[in-house]
């Protein structure tokens, strides 16, 4: 004995087949799943990412960011790997320290008077210097404070997982 669901589905199917003017193109019955947008130079890309140091995967950074492909504002190893990807695509890959945020640079340690720090600053805090660069407070002494201007992941090989969320090609 046919169920109500079976009868309803059959009735809809017959109605569609017998309809005089085709009100529905069969190709349009299925939503388009293909997005032809690809990551290419000049495209505004929104990406969700997870980055962890190779030697400490428990220290994970997760965020969503926008960037313009080809402007080199993100690490070169990431920019190279997202080229040609499509919305919804995901990829996981290792990055050497050089491909990521570069080697740790000892010359990027700055000394400033402690009174230039925010009132409640503590060692380990991240602050912004006068040039707008982020720095980690390494040490606060009575006569000076040491700031590390290296990226927190500089000098570390990484594991990166990212997903392309949207691509807006600039025409």
CATH number at residue 39: 3.10.50.40
Type and span of the H or E element at 16? helix 4-18
pLDDT value of position 37: 87
Task: Give the Cα separation of 90 and 67 in Å (integer).
Answer: 17
Question: Based on the domain organization, do 122 and 40 belong to the same domain?
Answer: no
* Claim to verify: residue 73 and residue 54 sit in the same structural domain: yes
C-alpha torsion sign, points 50, 53, 59, 65: negative
- Residue 26, classed as helix, strand or coil, is helix
Say whether both 20 and 72 belong to one domain: yes
User: pLDDT at position 21, please?
Assistant: 38
- For residues 82, 87, 91, 95, the Cα torsion angle rounded to the nearest 10 degrees is 30
The rounded distance, in Å, linking the Cα atoms of 11 and 34 is 31
Residues 24 and 39 both lie in one domain = yes
pLDDT in tens, 121-138: 999 999 987 788 889 999
* Pick from 50, 56, 152, 64: nearest CA to 93: 50
Counting the structural domains of the chain, the total is 2
Q: What DSSP assignment string belongs to 76-138?
A: HHHHHHHTT--TT-EEEEEE-TTTTT----GGGEEEE-GGGS-TT--TT-EEE-TTS-EEEEE
Same domain, 81 and 110: no
- Domain with 14, as residue range(s), is 4-102+154-168
In this structure, the answer to whether residues 85 and 127 fall within a common structural domain is no
Tens digits of pLDDT across the chain (171 residues): 444 433 333 333 333 333 333 333 333 333 333 457 899 999 999 999 999 999 988 889 999 999 999 999 888 889 999 999 999 999 999 999 999 989 999 999 999 999 999 989 999 999 987 788 889 999 999 999 999 999 989 999 999 999 999 999 766
One domain for residues 81 and 138: no
Same domain, 115 and 32: no
Q: Quote the pLDDT of residue 1.
A: 45
Residues 48 and 112 in one domain: no
- Alpha-carbon gap, residue 169 to 38, rounded angstroms: 8
Q: Is residue 61 located within the same domain as residue 27? A: yes
Whether residues 131 and 164 fall in one domain: no
Q: Which two tokens stand for residue 44?
A: 């505004």
| Stated pTM of the model | 0.64
For residues 70 and 92, state if they share a domain: yes
**Phi, psi (rounded to 5 degrees) for 59:** -90, 90
């Amino acid at each position: 004995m046919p169920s109500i669901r079976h009868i309803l589905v059959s009735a809809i199917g017959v109605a569609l087949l017998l309809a005089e003017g085709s009100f529905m193109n069969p190709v349009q019955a299925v939503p388009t799943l293909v997005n032809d947008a690809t990551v290419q130079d000049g495209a505004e890309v929104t990406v969700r990412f997870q980055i962890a140091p190779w030697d400490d995967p428990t220290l994970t950074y997760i965020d969503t960011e926008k960037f313009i492909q080809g402007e080199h504002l993100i690490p070169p190893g990431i920019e190279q790997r997202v080229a040609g990807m499509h919305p919804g695509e995901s990829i996981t890959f290792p990055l050497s320290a050089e491909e990521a945020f570069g080697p740790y640079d000892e010359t990027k340690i700055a000394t400033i008077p402690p009174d230039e720090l925010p009132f409640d600053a503590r060692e380990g805090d991240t602050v912004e210097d006068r040039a707008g660069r982020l720095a980690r407070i390494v040490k606060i002494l009575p006569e000076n404070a040491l700031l590390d201007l290296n990226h927190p992941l500089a000098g570390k090989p990484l594991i990166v997982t990212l997903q392309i969320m949207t691509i807006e090609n600039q025409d």
